[in-house]
Amino acid sequence: MLKTKNVFRALAWGMVTMGVIMGAVFPLFVMLFGVAEATAFSTLFMMATLVAGFAVGILNYFLASKIVRPRLRRLSEGMKEVSEVMDQAAFTGDWSGCDPAVCLLTEQDEGELGAVAGSYNALLYALHDAHQIESQIRHFTQTLSSSLELNELGDQALTLLQEIATAQGGAIVMDRQGEWKLLVSHGLAQPDRVADSELFQVRQGEAIVRRIVLPPGVTVDAVLTHFVPADVILAPIMHHGLVLGWVVLASSTTFPDRVPRLLPMLMQGLGLALNNALMHDDLQRVAALDPLTNVYNRRFGMKRLDEELSRAARNKTPLALMMLDLDHFKRINDTFGHLSGDKVLVRMTNVTREMLREGDILLRYGGEEFVVVLPGASLQDAREVAERIRFAISHSPVDVGDHALTVTASIGVSAISGSRTVSSEELITMADKRLYAAKAAGRNRVIYEGIA
């Protein structure tokens, strides 16, 4: 074997050498057909056979060059072009030049050249798919890092996951205080059944991507009809080995093979983002709550009051506000101590909260004074709620040592009808005046006034 780095040079030397050798042995071959030895080994005949062998070698090399070299050059130029595009794309981010539709090589040869072209095209497809996956992961991670609000983050994540997996329906279920709660769902009919399912009751070691059957009654809500999904994937959301939740994806057709392989990589970014959102949610909740009574503190509660006033002005709807103050609370602290006073405050807060609707706002304004915001409530509505709260507090004794301590509250109520805009300070000032009027009138009563 000739040692040269140029294949065609080696091919040329090999063919010429083979032609010369064939020319050299040709006289022996013709002697088998009766040619006289003197003729076969004559100088003229020997020269003729050597020249013929050399010419055949040159001709074979020329034919090989004309047939094989252009195809190899086309393969080489295609690979070089893709290499240059990839080098540019690494800096510009434009990978359109690496699209197989642009760089694909067509080779009709059924032998090795065809196999080389096929391998090149397969490599091109693999690079294209790898870049698409990398782009999807990067876009997914960047999108998740843009939000710390848990519900917004869940909605964005599920939307992207459904796009990547081409799923018609999906849900994210989170572990909240030991219970599975539905964070967000898209396209699922009766998604609450998913959260109530035993699908998620698995041990840590079994928390892997798997295909499942949805609970009975759960269907995919398509544009025109409901249908039972043909393929469902369940993927755990992990962070530092702990399962934070699960992603459920449902499709009317079988998911591509790449989806179950891609999901674990996406779940890593989702786990980190959800953990950050949960921490942010906890910090926001702690910053917004009064540590003793677990209701809104004054700073955050006043912010919520401003938001509700803006909404009422926008929608021209009524809004009511109560100022609530425990009667003779200083006497309770002086007689039974501050720990007993704290116990009374907690009890009063729980009783008040039980009287309120889900959208009502309770905040600790300061000391034993509380504010209740009732969006959409008229003055008469607020008066009725205030009377119920006053009655409930006075009939909810607090055990303090050996004593069953009866506590009462005075309440001032103010309200707007929606026909004018007022500030939070005006509304509170009006309720505060009614509160002091209730105190002056003998306590344990409700006094109210509206702002036209």
| Per-residue pLDDT at 8 | 56
Query: Does the domain made of 150-287 have the CATH classification 3.40.50.1980?
Result: no
> What pLDDT digit, counting tens, does each position of 409-433 carry?
999 999 998 777 789 999 999 999 9
Q: How far apart are CA 234 and CA 241, in angstroms?
A: 17
| Per-residue pLDDT at 150 | 83
> What pLDDT digit, counting tens, does each position of 226-277 carry?
667 788 898 998 888 788 889 999 888 888 888 888 888 888 888 888 888 8
What percentage of the chain carries pLDDT values higher than 90? 29
Please give the residue that has the higher pLDDT: either 5 or 27: 27
97-106, 194-203, 244-253, 298-307: lowest mean pLDDT where?
97-106
The DSSP element (H or E) to which 264 belongs, if any, is: helix 258-288
C-beta separation of 446 from 383 below 8 A: yes
Domain ranges for the chain: 7-127, 150-287, 298-451
Q: pTM higher than 0.85, yes or no?
A: no
Q: How far apart are CA 81 and CA 73, in angstroms?
A: 12
What percentage of the chain carries pLDDT values higher than 70? 77
Average pLDDT over residues 299-308: 91
| Per-residue pLDDT at 407 | 95
CATH classification number, 298-451, choose in 3.30.70.270, 2.30.30.30, 1.10.150.110, 3.90.79.10: 3.30.70.270
| Per-residue pLDDT at 445 | 95
Average pLDDT over residues 431-436: 95
Nearest to 276 by CA among 149, 138, 141, 174: 149
| Per-residue pLDDT at 42 | 78
Asked if the model's pLDDT at residue 1 lies above 50, the reply is no
| Per-residue pLDDT at 104 | 66
Phi, psi of 297 (to 5 degrees): -80, 175
Q: 375: which strand partners?
A: 319
Q: Can 150-287 and 298-451 be said to share one CATH topology?
A: no
Average pLDDT over residues 311-340: 92
